[in-house]
Homo-oligomer: A and B are copies of this chain.
Amino acid sequence: MSKRKIGNPLALVVLACLIERPMHPYEMATTMRSRAKHESIKLNYGSLYTVVQSLERLGLIEAHETEREGKRPERTVYTITDAGRMEYVDWLSELLSTPEREYTTFEAGLALLPGLPPDDVADLLEQRCRNLEITLAQLRAADAAVSLQEVPKVFRVEFDFRVLRTEAELAFTANLVGEICSGSLGGLDEWRSFHAESSPETAPLGAARAGPAKPGRRNTAERSTERDKDK
């Protein structure tokens, strides 16, 4: 994201369209919409013209011709440049080959989960399981629908991936609920005691007490795994 001059996935999609053939912006939008790419890529078609402008400014695409039918507004047809073609291959290659550290909201929730009482958390996670099941059912229904048309597997691998990932998340969540309810989760007593009304003020989130350390006021110096500056 930082290295690339333009990071918006919509730009990648624009390049993908123009590699097929020259198009005007609106056509790109309808093309991609018809292929349901917004299901797997975060696309905001409202930003289309802005993105096209940026790509042109960077020399990755260029105006090819401007047509006009009757008295409709002019349509500018764009083509991809050599630089654009290279950027496309490079970008797509990177997406496929290099796993990027991406943060999910669920992970954030898990990291802060001790901040709520155990029983509440169990309920919330149970609810998540039900939501995930609904999602899965929808995904499978959609898959079945698509299978009727004869769309080959290659064109929907991203779909399979999503299903797999959702299943994994469901399994994890269900298992976690189980561990909380059965009491087999390590540290559960400690966790519960934080929220045991005796100390309503002192909520935790990820205790960093190491060994025999004393919880004095300023324990900031203790845990210095301090490894990186990923920057």
Contact = CB atoms under 8 A, between A and B. Distances in A.
Nearest to A103: B42
A68 interface: no
16 contacts: A2-B231, A16-B112, A20-B203, A34-B220, A88-B207, A92-B109, A92-B115, A93-B223, A95-B112, A110-B157, A113-B158, A152-B188, A154-B186, A156-B206, A161-B169, A161-B172
B113 A89 contact: no
A4 B158 CA distance: 30
Given A20-B204, A208-B19, A108 B88 contact: no
B227 A103 contact: no
B99 A116 contact: no
A198 interface: no
Given A106-B96, A158-B107, A207-B20, A222 B124 contact: no
A11 to B, nearest CB: 11
Interface of A: 2-3, 9, 12-13, 16, 19-21, 27, 30-31, 33-37, 40-42, 80, 82, 85-86, 88-90, 92-100, 102-116, 120-121, 124-125, 127-128, 131-132, 135, 145, 149-158, 160-162, 164-166, 168-169, 171-172, 176, 179, 185-188, 190-191, 200-211, 219-220, 222-227, 229-231
Given A16-B112, A164-B168, A34 B89 contact: no
B207 A40 contact: no
A33 B190 CA distance: 22
A110 B20 CA distance: 17
